[in-house]
Amino acid sequence: MKHLNKLLIVFCLVVLVTSIQAQNTISAAGGNASGAGGSASFSIGQIAYTTNTGTNGSVAEGVQQPYEISVVVGIEQAKYTNFFCAVYPNPTTDLLTLEVEILDNENLFYQLYDMMGKLLLIKRLIDFKTTISMTNLAPATYFLKVTDNQNVVKTFKIIKTQ
């Protein structure tokens, strides 16, 4: 009986190991590329792949899919066609100047956010030029939003250095 149990376990393991499959492809070329911003693997000349689509999305089997996070900055809404907004110097070490030229608007605010989306500062824009102190902030990337009645008019990506 012991011998039969061992034989059954070995048989199950052989069946399990031989039935495992992975994605594979025949490609003409490929390799790995790396630099200061990271690394990526690539293949050239993949012969075939399968795409499965469902109600929640799609999956492309055998194809490497990039995932990119991008931030759109400097989009002006159509009602602000004569609107000028600038931030300088960027990158900055301690003081940042926000210049906004729009007439007859008392509802403009600026909001400063960190990379995690935490609101650090919110103030009403009173003058055409506003100086924002960043001396107490750590060197990092921040987002400065100019809003009109809580509608984002323009977003700037600010880099704070030492």
List strand residue ranges (DSSP E) for 62-114, in order: 84-88, 95-101, 108-113
Structure confidence by residue, pLDDT tens digits, 97-132: 998 876 556 678 899 999 888 999 999 888 888 899
**Is residue 5, in this structure, part of any structural domain at all?**
no
Alpha-carbon distance 140 to 83, whole Å?
28
Range of the domain at 43: 27-68
In a shared domain, residues 82 and 156: yes
In a shared domain, residues 88 and 155: yes
Question: Residue 87 has which token pair?
Answer: 């931030």
**Residue 13 pLDDT exceeds 50:** yes
Question: Residue 117 has which token pair?
Answer: 């989306």
Structure confidence by residue, pLDDT tens digits, 53-106: 887 777 666 555 555 555 555 554 445 545 678 888 888 888 999 988 765 566
Three-state SS for 140? strand
**Is residue 114, in this structure, part of any structural domain at all?**
yes
**Is residue 19, in this structure, part of any structural domain at all?**
no
Q: How many residues does the chain have?
A: 162
Residue written as token pair 């000349």? 45
